[in-house]
């Protein structure tokens, strides 16, 4: 059923103001749930725990989303193509975690040929860097001959990793970082949130699931104990 209620505006001065139920999210555009608020640590953590994330451009107020279906990857279902497996065997890239978070997110914000990436405003970058400094957000980097060639970043909560964005400057660099991310199952991680489906993520095994199932997964795993932070004791 399409939500008939108008979008709720969140008070930027009331960080405890609750988000609307995700079942009230719009169908068109898919998943738009609320407007306004701020990017404080408390509000962002509460949003992700409820299956909600911010996504907006500089010309817009903060927009909060919870699309249905949701694109996710269960780490044990990671799909590695023949060409990617070849890249992994050749050890083209050195992979690290939490070594260059700010550089990774800055690269993710750069304009791309497909038009993606530019939604990461200065305020968004600073908000996620604060999450990183508090131990909630992490990055995975792929290095080639000492140069940052690709990577990704997102939030870790319980046994769930909420992927935000990735970039690549060399062939397979971001995919190698993603394969490393999927190895988090060794630390007890059970779910990687990919937010919205893409051909790139689908090639790695991401699948669409109903939002209700996604919320049930969050309720099951977000509060479960696992390795937290730091992921890597050698921060840049």
Q: Quick one: pLDDT at residue 108?
A: 94
- Dump pLDDT digits (tens) for 150-189: 999 999 999 999 999 999 999 999 999 999 999 888 888 9
Band of pLDDT at residue 71, cut at 50, 70 and 90: very high
Band of pLDDT at residue 58, cut at 50, 70 and 90: confident
> Which DSSP state fits 12?
T
Long-range residue pairs from 9-14, CB within 8 A, at least 24 positions apart, any chain: 9/34, 9/35, 9/36, 10/34, 10/35, 10/36, 10/37, 10/43, 10/62, 10/64, 11/36, 11/37, 12/36, 12/37, 12/38
Q: Which residue has the higher pLDDT, 43 or 6?
A: 43
Question: Which residues, in sequence order, are bridge partners of residue 53?
Answer: 65
- Dump pLDDT digits (tens) for 44-57: 999 999 999 999 98
Question: Mean per-residue pLDDT for 2-20?
Answer: 83
SS3 state at 1:
coil
Contact 7, 34 (CB under 8 A): yes
Q: What CATH number was assigned to the domain covering residues 8-67?
A: 3.30.70.3550
Q: Quick one: pLDDT at residue 112?
A: 67
Contact 63, 30 (CB under 8 A): no
- Dump pLDDT digits (tens) for 87-146: 999 999 999 999 999 999 999 998 766 555 457 899 999 999 999 999 999 999 999 999
Return d(Cα 15, Cα 44) in angstroms, integer.
9
Return d(Cα 216, Cα 181) in angstroms, integer.
22
Query: Angle at Cα 209 formed by Cα 52 and Cα 9, nearest 5°?
Result: 20
- Dump pLDDT digits (tens) for 206-222: 999 999 999 999 999 99
Domain ranges of the chain: 8-67, 71-221
Q: Quick one: pLDDT at residue 2?
A: 43
Question: Mean per-residue pLDDT for 28-36?
Answer: 96
Q: Thinking of the domain 71-221, which architecture would CATH place it in?
A: 3-Layer(aba) Sandwich (3.40)
Q: Quick one: pLDDT at residue 185?
A: 84
Integer CA distances (angstroms), 213 to 49, 51, 217, 219, in order = 14, 11, 6, 10
Q: Quick one: pLDDT at residue 232?
A: 59
Contact 120, 58 (CB under 8 A): no
Across the chain, mean pLDDT equals 91
H helix intervals, 134-229: 173-182, 199-202, 211-221
């Amino acid at each position: 059923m399409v939500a008939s209620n108008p979008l709720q505006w969140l008070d930027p001065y009331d960080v405890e103001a609750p988000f609307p139920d995700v079942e009230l999210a719009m169908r068109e555009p898919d998943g738009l749930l609320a407007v306004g608020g701020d990017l404080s640590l408390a509000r962002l953590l509460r949003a992700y725990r409820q299956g909600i994330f911010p996504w907006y451009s500089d010309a817009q107020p903060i927009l909060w989303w919870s699309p249905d279906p949701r694109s996710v990857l269960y780490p044990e279902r990671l799909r590695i193509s023949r060409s990617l497996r070849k890249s992994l065997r050749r050890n083209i890239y050195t992979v690290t975690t939490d070594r260059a978070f700010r550089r990774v997110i800055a690269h993710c914000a750069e304009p791309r040929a497909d038009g993606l990436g530019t939604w990461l405003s200065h305020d968004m970058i600073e908000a996620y860097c604060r999450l990183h400094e508090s131990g909630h957000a992490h990055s995975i980097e792929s290095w080639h001959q000492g140069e940052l060639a690709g990577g990704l970043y997102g939030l870790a909560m319980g046994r769930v990793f909420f992927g935000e964005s990735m970039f690549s400057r060399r062939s397979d660099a971001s995919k190698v970082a993603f394969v490393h991310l999927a190895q988090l199952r060794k630390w007890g991680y059970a779910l990687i949130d990919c937010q919205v489906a893409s051909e790139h993520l689908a090639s790695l095994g991401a699948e669409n699931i109903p939002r209700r199932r996604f919320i049930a997964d969050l309720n099951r795993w977000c509060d479960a104990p696992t390795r937290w932070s730091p992921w890597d004791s050698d921060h840049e």
